[in-house]
Amino acid sequence: MSVIDDLIDRLDRARVLTDPDVVGSYVHDEAEWAPYSAPLAVVRATSTNDVQRTVRWALEHNVPLVPRGAGTGLSGGANSIAGCVVVCLEKMDAVLEVNPLERIAVVQPGVVNDDLRKTVAEQGLWYPPDPASSPWSTIGGNVATNAGGVCCVKYGVTRDYVIGLEVVTGTGEVVRLGRRTAKGVAGLDLAGLFVGSEERSASSPRSP
C-alpha cells in the first residue's frame, strides 16, 4: 500500500485530492515568486479529527505538512514543498457560536474574515482586524500571520482578538489554549504564543 493509499484509508476518499490538475490550484499562495513544488496530495479537512489523523499519518511516514487557508499570503508560507501534503482548512468554515454578552465568537479556521465580520454585526458586534484581503482570507490564515490592516493601527492586530485556540500539535495531540472570558490572569498566554506561527520564509524552505 502506498503512503497516499494509507492516508485515503484513514480519511474519507473525498478529502484527499491527488488529481494533478486539481492539486495544481493549491501549490502556492499569492507569492508566486517564492519557490514551490508539487505535493503528494491535498487534504481538504472538514474537522479537527481529519487534521489530527493527517498529522499522525504524516508522523508515521515522515511526510511534511503545509497548512493552507485561502492562499492569499504574500510570503510563500502556504507554498507546497516537494513531497509534502497540503492541509487545506477552507472547508472548515463554520461560525460555531456568537455570544454578545461575553463578546466572543467561536469559529472554525476556514471562516473568511469578512463573513465573520458580517455574522457578528448581526448581533451588534464588530471584529476589527481588517487585512485588505478580508473578502477572501481565512481566520486561520489571519491567526498564523497575525494579520492586520488599517483599523489595526487604532484597534490592534489579530493577536489582540484571539483569546483561545484549539490546536493540533506536531505530535498529533489536540490541545485547547487560552480562555473564554475577557479576564484571564492565570499562567502564560499560550494562545498568544501561537498567533503569528507562520515561520517558513520563501527564501529558507525547510527540507522534508
Where on the chain is the footprint of ligand FAD (CB under 6 A)?
29-30, 66-74, 77-78, 89, 109, 131-133, 137-138, 140-142, 144-145, 147-149, 198
Q: Is the CB of residue 162 less than 8 Å from the CB of residue 156?
A: no
Residue nearest to ligand FAD (CB): 141
Smallest gap from Cβ 198 to ligand FAD, in A, equals: 4
Strand partners, 176: 166
> At its nearest, how many Å lie between ligand FAD and the CB of residue 208?
16
Closer to ligand FAD by Cβ: residue 5 or 26: 26
150 touches 134 (CB < 8 A): no
For the bound state, the minimum distance from the C-beta of residue 177 to ligand FAD, rounded and expressed in Å, comes to 13
For residue 9, the Cα-to-chain-centroid distance in whole angstroms is 24
Nearest residue (CB) to ligand FAD, 61 versus 194: 194
CB of 161 to ligand FAD, least distance (A): 13
Task: Please list, residue by residue across 140-179, b when 16 or more beta carbons sit within 10 angstroms of its beta carbon and e when fewer do.
Answer: bbbbbbbbbbebbeeeebbbebbbebebbeeebeeeebbb
